[in-house]
Structure 1
Amino acid sequence: MPQRKSIPFEMFPRKFKMAINGMKNPRRGRKRYSETSIRSVINAVGQYLYVLGRAGLPPELSYDGLGAFVDYLDGSGLRNSTCLSYMAGVQAVAKEVKYPATARRVILGDCAFYRDAFKLEVPTKIRKLAANPITLADIGRAAVKAREQAYDAATTTRRRTLFIRSGVLALLSLLPARIGDVTRLEIGKGISRQDGQWRLQMTSGKTGYRHNGPLHDSLTRYLDDLIMFGTKGSIEFHYAQRMGTPLFSTELGEFLSPRTLPYNFKAATGHTPHIVRTLVHDALAEHGTYGADLARILCGQTSVEIAKIYEVHAARFRAQKGQKILAEIHLKALQKPSSISIGGARI
C-alpha cells in the first residue's frame, strides 16, 4: 500500500480554504457541519491535493484530478468505507465552490460505487467480534478482576494502573460514553460525588449530547477507588483534595495521555473501548423500539441513523425475541380445549 500523505490546510488554495471556512460558519439556512465532519473534509481535500501534486496537476477540481484521485484510492488498499469518506469530503467542497452540477455527478457516481462496495464488506467490528467474542458481562467481570489485582499489587504504580483499568472498565460497562469524553472528565465539573452517590454532568465533544444524572450505585466503589487508590481515610477528605482534577489522572494530578485508557481497556478485553457501544445496542435490541431508544440515549447518539451503525447482532436478537413471543402465543392457542367435533365426539 502506498504511504498516505496529505497537504495541510494552511497550504490549501484560497478557494478551498474559503469553502471549508464557509462550512464551519454557514449562512442562515445552510447545512451546518460538525467538527468531526469538517476534519474529515479537510483530510479528504488534503489527500486530493497531495495526489494532484504527485501527478503534476494543478491544485483544482477537474476531471483529470478526480480521475487521478480515484486511481490512487483504488490502488491504495484502503477499505471502501474510507474511500467513500474521502470522495464524500471532496464532493462536499465541490458543492460549496459551485463546481458544475454535471461534473459533480461524476463524483457522486464514484461515491455511489464505493457505497455499494462498502455494503458488501464485512465490517471490521463484526470480524473482530467473531474472532474474539465478548459481552458487557465479560467487561464487568474484567473490572472486578482488575480491582482485586489492584489490592494485591506489590507497588503503588501497579496498584494505580489497575485501579484506573478497573474504573474505566466498570464505567463503560454501564455508560458507553466516548473514550475521549471519559478521559476529559474533571471532578466537580463533569462528574461529582454528593451524599455517597456519583453524578454525571457531561456534554459529548462529538454530538453535543448532554448526560446529566446519577450513576448507578454499583459504580460507586470503582469511582471511589479513583479517589482513594487503596489508601485509608475519609473519602470526603480525599475527594475535596481532588476537586478540579481529572477523574482519571496521573500521579501529579494531570490528564492521562489519550492513549492510556484505550490501552488499558484493550489489555483487559482484547477490544477497543468503542466496542461497548455495539454491545449495548445488541444487548437492548430484544426490547424493541424502547430498547433501541435506551441504547441511543446511553451512547449519547442524537439520531436513529447513527445508532443503527452500531448494531451488529441486533436484528438476530430481535428475531429471537419475536420467535419467543410467537411461541408463547402458539402455546396458549395449543393449550385451549378443542371445539372441533367429529361424529358428535369432541377432539
Structure 2
Amino acid sequence: MSAADGAGRQRGPGPRCPVSRADLPGWMRDVLDAMEKGRPRRGVAAPPESRWRAVTGVLRDLVAAARRHGLAEEIAEPTVAAMLADARARGVGEASLGTHMSVLRLFARYAGRGVAWADASSGIDMRTARSVLAAPAMRPYRDAAAGLLAEGVRLSDVKLVGRWLALSAEREGAPRERDVEAITGQSEKKARTLAFTLHRLDPTHADLPLLQGWQRTLASETRTRKGLRRPRGPRPREHSVPVDALPAPMQAQLAELAAPGDRRHKPWKPVSVRNAALPLCQVVHEARAVGAPETICPESMQAWLAALKARDVSARSKASMLHTIGIYASRAGLDAEEQDRILREEAFWRKQARGVPKRKERHLAENPLTLVDVAEAARARSEAAPGLPRSDHRRAAWLDAAALALSIARPDRELDFTRYVVGKTLWRTEAGWESDLFSSKTDVEVEGAVWDAVGAYLDDGILLGADPSAFWRLYHEREGAAYFCHADGAPMAPGRVRSAFLRCLGVRSHLMRTLWFDEAAAWGEWGLMAARTLAGHRSVLTAGHYETDVAARARISAMQEQLSVHHDSLHAAHTGARAAAPDKGVA
C-alpha cells in the first residue's frame, strides 16, 4: 500500500482530518515523493516503507493544526505543540503521541527542515553546551546560563529552558498551558525544574507565573493520585464577616475615626482602625446568625459573647476585644447606657483573667528559654543545612536560621517576615544589611542597619550553599522577590514561618518580646527602654504589662532561690543531728 492510499484513511477517534495529501505545502509533497522513491537527501537515508503512511498522517495533522491556529506550516515548536493539544483533545493516547513525535523527527531530519526542533525535542538531546548557548533564543541569557553551568547546574536543565525560550520566541502572543505541557508533559519534576531554572536566569520573566502555576497544578494532581493529600474535613465555622460587609453606618463611623477633623480626639491610625474592625466584624456575624440588629446592642453582644464561650476564647482575649469595642463606642458616640454595659462586661472579664497566666508564660515556666537559646537554635539550624540530602530541605534550613536570627534583632510578627522584599524593605550594601518595615500590628516603623551577626545568616539565605563569590549575582537575581520564598519564587505563607519557630523552639515568634524584657530586667531602666524599642512597643501601657510580668517573674525566681537555700540548710542540719544522735539499737 502506498502513502497516498493510506492518506485517505481516518485512524483513531475524533473528526476526520480536513487536510489531504494534495493540500500539503509543496515542499512537503516533494519530500514525500522522494521518500517513496527511496532517494537519500543530504546524505540521510529515506525512512522505511513501514513508516510512510504514518509520516503522511502526521504531516496532515500538523498542517491542519497550523491552519486552525494561524501558525506557520513548518515543523516548529508552536505548531507541533498545537498539533499535540488537538490530538489530546480528540482522545489520542500518550503512547500514540510518542509514536507521532518519533515519526515527525524522522521526517524532519530527512527533509532537512525542522532539524533544530527534532534535536531539541528528542528524548536524548545530543547538543553540547556550546550549541545550546549559541541558540538565538538563549542570546539574552548566554552569560547567565554559562554562569549556572559553571556553578554545577545540569546541562539538561539549561536545555529545557532553551526549548521553552525557543517556543516562546516563535509563538505570537502569550504562551498557554498547552505549550508548557508540550515541553514538560505531565512531569511535575520537569515543570519544577523549568520554572526554577528560568527564575535563576531571569527572576522577572513574564512566563514565570504560567510555569509556576502549571507546576503547582501537576504537584496537586500527583499528591491526589498517590493518596498523599489528606481528606478534607468539615470546614470550620466562620465567625467573622469581611470589613466591607459591615453595615454602612458602622463603616462610616470607622472611616470618620481615621479622618482628620475638629474633634477632641486625635484621628486613629490605620492599624488602630483595623484592630477595631476585627471584633465588630465578629459581632455583626453573630448578630446575623441569630437575627439580632447589626449594631452594638444587648442582643448582638449577648450572641457574640456566647460564640466566644463556645470557641473557648480566654478571658484575657475577651477583655481585650471588649476594651476595643468600648473605645469605638465612645468615639462613635453610641448610647451612654450601652457604653456602661460594655465597660462592666470588660471589668468582669479583666477580673476573671487575673492570676491566670498566658499560654506563653506557662510554656516559659515549663521550658525555660532565653535569647541565647534562640541564637543557638539559629546556629544549629544553619550548620545542619549543608548535610541535608534534598535541596528544598537545605533551602528551608537556611531560611529558618535567618528567621530565627532576624527575630532577635527585629520585633517582627509572622506576617512581617513575609513582607520582606529583597532590595526594597530588606537590602544589602557593602556595609551590611538594612531594613525598613512597618509593623503589621502596631504600625511602628522599624528601620536601620541589621546587626552583623544577624547579617551573616541573611547572607546564607541568599547564597543557599553557593560560593560566596557569587553573592552579588544571586542577590541581584532575588531583587524584587520576597526574601522568605520557595524555590519557584512564591512568597512563603505566615504559617510556614510559624512552623519554623515551633519546630526549632516549640513556641511562636511573639514570645521574643517576652524574652527581650527578661534579658533587659537585669540592666535597670536603661535595659527596659532598650527592650521597648526592640519589642516595637508604641504604647507605654503595653510595655508596662511586660515590665510588670518581668518583675513578677523576677520576684518569684528570687523567692524560689531563697526557699531552695533555706531547704538545703534545713536538710543539712537535720542530717547532722541524726548523725550525732546515739544508736538506740537492741542490747
Indicate the TM-score class for this superposition, using the shorter chain for normalisation: 0.7 to 0.9
SS at match of 2:354: helix
Among candidates 261, 270, 273, match of residue 38 of structure 1 = 273
* Cα 1:322/1:127, change in 2 over 3 Å: closer
Q: Which amino acid aligns with 1:24?
A: A
Query: How far does residue 135 in structure 1 lie from its aligned partner after superposition?
Result: 1.3
SS at match of 2:239: coil
Q: Is residue 283 of structure 2 the alignment partner of residue 48 of structure 1?
A: yes
Among candidates 464, 483, 486, match of residue 247 of structure 1 = 483
The corresponding residue for 1:126 is: 361
Question: 1:279-317 deviations in whole A, cap 9, x for unaligned?
Answer: 011101111111111111112222322223345762157
Say whether the 8 Å CA contact 1:147–1:162 is kept in structure 2. Answer: yes
* Cα 1:12/1:197, change in 2 over 3 Å: closer
Query: How far does residue 143 in structure 1 lie from its aligned partner after superposition?
Result: 1.0
Normalising by the residue count of structure 1, what TM-score does the alignment of the two structures yield?
0.81
Which segment drifts farther, 75-84 or 272-281? 75-84
Q: Following the alignment from structure 1 to structure 2, what is the Cα–Cα distance between the partners of residues 317 and 52?
A: 41
Say whether the 8 Å CA contact 1:9–1:42 is kept in structure 2. Answer: yes
Question: 1:115-152 deviations in whole A, cap 9, x for unaligned?
Answer: 22222321121112123321111111111111111111
Among candidates 251, 263, 266, match of residue 499 of structure 2 = 263
Among candidates 200, 223, 226, match of residue 435 of structure 2 = 200
Query: How far does residue 13 in structure 1 lie from its aligned partner after superposition?
Result: 2.9
The corresponding residue for 1:277 is: 513
The corresponding residue for 2:147 is: none
Q: Following the alignment from structure 1 to structure 2, what is the Cα–Cα distance between the partners of residues 141 and 234?
A: 27
Identify the structure with bigger relative contact order (alpha carbons < 8 Å, sequence gap 6+).
Answer: 1
Structure with bigger gyration radius: 2
Query: How far does residue 322 in structure 1 lie from its aligned partner after superposition?
Result: 11
* Cα 1:52/1:269, change in 2 over 3 Å: same
Among candidates 238, 242, 246, match of residue 12 of structure 1 = 246
SS at match of 2:494: coil
Say whether the 8 Å CA contact 1:35–1:206 is kept in structure 2. Answer: no
Q: Is residue 445 of structure 2 the alignment partner of residue 214 of structure 1?
A: no
Ranges in structure 2 where 5+ consecutive residues have no aligned partner: 1-235, 560-587
The corresponding residue for 2:404 is: 169
Which segment drifts farther, 307-316 or 130-139? 307-316
Question: 1:194-228 deviations in whole A, cap 9, x for unaligned?
Answer: 22522223332333333333222212321111111
Q: Which amino acid aligns with 1:17?
A: Q
* Cα 1:265/1:306, change in 2 over 3 Å: same
Superposition map of 1:1-347 within 5 A: 5-29=239-263, 30-74=265-309, 76-232=311-467, 233-311=469-547, 314-315=550-551
Identity across matched positions, percent: 26
Q: Following the alignment from structure 1 to structure 2, what is the Cα–Cα distance between the partners of residues 141 and 37?
A: 36
The number of residue pairs the alignment matches comes to: 322
Normalising by the residue count of structure 2, what TM-score does the alignment of the two structures yield?
0.50
Over the aligned positions, Cα root-mean-square deviation in angstroms equals 2.9
Q: Following the alignment from structure 2 to structure 1, what is the Cα–Cα distance between the partners of residues 339 and 320?
A: 16
* Cα 1:238/1:196, change in 2 over 3 Å: farther
Say whether the 8 Å CA contact 1:186–1:247 is kept in structure 2. Answer: yes
Question: 1:217-261 deviations in whole A, cap 9, x for unaligned?
Answer: 212321111111001233233223322222222223332222212
Say whether the 8 Å CA contact 1:143–1:169 is kept in structure 2. Answer: yes
Q: Following the alignment from structure 2 to structure 1, what is the Cα–Cα distance between the partners of residues 424 and 522?
A: 36
Say whether the 8 Å CA contact 2:528–2:547 is kept in structure 1. Answer: no
Say whether the 8 Å CA contact 1:146–1:162 is kept in structure 2. Answer: yes
SS at match of 2:434: strand
Say whether the 8 Å CA contact 1:132–1:270 is kept in structure 2. Answer: no
Q: Following the alignment from structure 2 to structure 1, what is the Cα–Cα distance between the partners of residues 545 and 277?
A: 23
